[in-house]
């Protein structure tokens, strides 16, 4: 079955492409007036499908067709550390976009609604996150389970360390499996094959062989477009500094300009009007300043100013549009040249999410809609509220084996085969309250019902327990090593170990 999805404030297409790659059919894109990022998606219908319409109007005027999933990434600046302190917080005006997302989801009435933000939206904005779920329930008149999914692009196979948060509200049981990356890319693995690539807006043949990781981005046409850096006053100053001093990987502009001045008594001519000001503040230039990324470490976060502040380790320039796109997981078939005259194109790369993260969460949304969610539902922290945290799962990677980047759909089984799946390694009890007595009793009732292998539906019929509660009991019993999940043809069954 093909599920449908609507992009609500997904901006420049990272989440959108990930959702489509997970098997959803995109049927709409909704943005605020101005349509930030819409052009990026319109130019790439060859990857996103053609059966969708975009609307960039007041949220009250967004049309609301029926869909299985509503997703997006409304502005995170209400919680971003790059925003000024007086602008941040749960009462920030920009958070009206999150409310608009929630109210639109209530009109569409999907089974699952997901938006992405920075992790501070959870740690400092929990009251707001809960309030959004309450608003959704009030408008629809049904209960929703809220999952706070803390994640990292690096943990789910992505190109960079990018810690983020998914707000997942669901009317069906939802869970994931912990990601198991098998090899981690460093920065040079992601864009190193573009070092000798001529800068050009137009498609050009690849100049070098791919790295083990960048092969996943390569276009089968043998061409790549949009490999061109920003040329403005800021980037010219950076290039002038690169030409006159030894800028080392990991160094930011403050250290480099200070050293240049100490060694030469001045700065390059393009910096001359700034010398006195910089001297008076020990060359400090802010917290978001040009920095040369280390080629032997993970790629960093591309922000809205990424093409101004990301300095290449092997070329005397800042990053190109194509390199920024790669760091956010876009394939080289994601066209950039048609966007060359789009105002603010540079900003669009950092105002979205990594494609890999969108694909990962949408894959588990699809599994949940199939009735086969993952077994990691997280720690329960409130009424119908759970925290899933895979932020640091990348640390389990085995670097000697390459990553498997293919998103696998459920296989079609032609003959009934019963395969026992290993139970998860029992986890020690974490902090928090012990299980309530009624939960322990319910778990034992489910366990006692398993006198033979049974489907979840059979367990529900035998025990009379709500199917969502049966699902949670099965998860806990499997986690504790007491039961196992079996595949019988295309169905899952459960049995004691």
Res. 96 pLDDT band, cuts 50 70 90: very high
* Predicted local distance difference test score (pLDDT) of residue 178: 95
462 pLDDT higher than 80: yes
* Predicted local distance difference test score (pLDDT) of residue 490: 61
CA dihedral 45, 49, 51, 54 (to 10 degrees): -40
Given this structure, which CATH class describes domain 187-348?
Answer: alpha beta
Q: What is the mean pLDDT of the chain?
A: 90
Average pLDDT of the residues in 84-110: 91
- Interatomic CA distance for residues 152 and 144, integer angstroms: 25
Average pLDDT of the residues in 322-336: 98
The answer to whether 367 and 374 are in contact (CB under 8 A) is yes
Percent of the chain exceeding pLDDT 90 equals: 74
Q: Directed axis angle between helix 456-463 and helix 467-479, to 10°?
A: 110
- Interatomic CA distance for residues 44 and 13, integer angstroms: 9
* Predicted local distance difference test score (pLDDT) of residue 425: 47
- Interatomic CA distance for residues 372 and 356, integer angstroms: 21
Average pLDDT of the residues in 317-344: 97
Structure tokens at 11: 């901006």
* Predicted local distance difference test score (pLDDT) of residue 258: 94
* Predicted local distance difference test score (pLDDT) of residue 161: 96
pLDDT digits (tens, 9 = 90+) for 116-127: 999 999 999 999
pLDDT digits (tens, 9 = 90+) for 42-57: 999 999 999 999 999 9
Res. 133 pLDDT band, cuts 50 70 90: very high
* Predicted local distance difference test score (pLDDT) of residue 418: 42
Residue 11 Rama label (left phi>0; alpha psi -120 to 50; beta): left
- How is the beta sheet containing 53-56 ordered, strand by strand? 53-56, 25-31, 4-8, 69-72, 112-117, 163-170, 145-152, 385-389, 379-382
The CATH number for 411-496, chosen from 3.10.129.10, 3.40.640.10, 1.20.1250.20, 1.10.10.10, is: 1.10.10.10
- Interatomic CA distance for residues 175 and 159, integer angstroms: 24
Query: How do beta strands 223-224 and 204-205 pair?
Result: antiparallel
- Interatomic CA distance for residues 158 and 138, integer angstroms: 37
Q: Which of 307, 304, 273 is nearest to 291 (CA)?
A: 307
CA dihedral 173, 178, 180, 181 (to 10 degrees): 90
The CATH number for 4-182+354-389, chosen from 3.30.465.10, 3.40.50.300, 1.20.1250.30, 3.40.50.150, is: 3.40.50.150
**pLDDT higher for 457 or 217?**
217
* Predicted local distance difference test score (pLDDT) of residue 286: 83
Q: Which of 18, 7, 67, 71 is nearest to 47 (CA)?
A: 18
* Predicted local distance difference test score (pLDDT) of residue 486: 82
* Predicted local distance difference test score (pLDDT) of residue 131: 96
**pLDDT higher for 372 or 411?**
372
* Predicted local distance difference test score (pLDDT) of residue 415: 39
* Predicted local distance difference test score (pLDDT) of residue 248: 94
* Predicted local distance difference test score (pLDDT) of residue 169: 98
- Interatomic CA distance for residues 50 and 29, integer angstroms: 12
Regarding pTM above 0.85, the answer is no
* Predicted local distance difference test score (pLDDT) of residue 199: 97
Res. 87 pLDDT band, cuts 50 70 90: confident
Structure tokens at 60: 């009250």
Q: Where are the chain's structural domains?
A: 4-182+354-389, 187-348, 411-496
Average pLDDT of the residues in 179-195: 95
Beta bridge partners, 420, equal 486
């Amino acid at each position: 079955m093909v599920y449908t999805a609507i992009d609500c404030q997904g901006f420049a297409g990272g989440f959108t492409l990930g959702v489509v790659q997970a098997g959803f059919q995109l049927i709409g894109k909704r943005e605020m007036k101005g349509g930030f990022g819409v052009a990026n998606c319109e130019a790439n219908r060859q990857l996103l499908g053609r059966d969708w319409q975009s609307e960039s109007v007041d949220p009250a005027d967004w049309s609301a067709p029926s869909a299985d999933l509503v997703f997006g990434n409304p502005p995170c600046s209400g919680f971003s550390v790059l925003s000024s302190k007086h602008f941040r917080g749960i009462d920030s005006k920009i958070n009206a976009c999150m409310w608009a997302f929630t109210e639109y989801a209530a009109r569409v009435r999907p089974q699952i609604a997901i938006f992405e933000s920075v992790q501070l939206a959870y740690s400092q904005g929990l009251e707001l996150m809960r309030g959004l779920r309450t608003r959704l329930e009030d408008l629809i008149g049904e209960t929703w389970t809220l999952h706070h999914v803390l994640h990292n692009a690096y943990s789910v196979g992505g190109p960079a360390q990018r810690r983020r948060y998914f707000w997942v509200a669901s009317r069906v049981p939802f869970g994931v499996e912990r990601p198991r990356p098998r090899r981690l890319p460093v920065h040079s693995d992601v864009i190193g094959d573009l070092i000798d690539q001529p800068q050009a807006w137009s498609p050009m043949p690849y100049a070098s062989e791919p790295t083990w990781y960048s092969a996943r981005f390569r276009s089968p046409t043998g061409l790549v477009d949009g490999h061109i850096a920003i040329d403005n006053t800021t980037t010219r100053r950076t290039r002038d500094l690169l030409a006159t001093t030894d800028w080392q990987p990991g160094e930011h502009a403050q250290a480099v300009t200070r050293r240049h001045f100490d060694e030469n008594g001045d700065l390059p001519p393009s910096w001359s009007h700034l010398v006195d000001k910089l001297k008076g503040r020990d060359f400090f230039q802010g917290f978001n300043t040009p920095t040369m990324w280390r080629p032997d470490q993970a790629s960093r976060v591309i922000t809205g100013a990424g093409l101004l502040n990301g300095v290449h380790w092997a070329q005397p320039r800042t990053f190109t549009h194509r390199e920024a796109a790669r760091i956010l997981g876009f394939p080289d078939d994601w066209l950039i040249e048609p966007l060359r005259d789009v105002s603010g194109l540079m900003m669009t790369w950092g105002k979205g999410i990594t494609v890999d993260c969108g694909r990962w969460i949408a894959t588990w949304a699809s599994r949940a809609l199939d009735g086969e969610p993952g077994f990691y539902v997280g720690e329960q922290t409130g009424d119908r509220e759970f925290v899933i945290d895979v932020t640091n799962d990348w640390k389990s990677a085995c670097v000697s084996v390459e990553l498997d980047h293919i998103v696998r759909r459920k296989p079609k089984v032609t003959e009934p085969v019963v395969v026992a799946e290993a139970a998860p390694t029992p986890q020690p009890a974490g902090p928090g309250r012990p299980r309530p007595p009624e939960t322990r009793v319910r778990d034992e009732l489910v366990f006692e019902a398993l006198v033979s292998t049974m489907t979840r539906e059979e367990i529900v019929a035998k025990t009379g327990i709500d199917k969502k509660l049966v699902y949670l009991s099965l998860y806990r019993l499997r986690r504790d090593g007491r039961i196992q999940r079996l595949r019988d043809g295309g169905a899952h069954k459960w049995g004691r170990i």
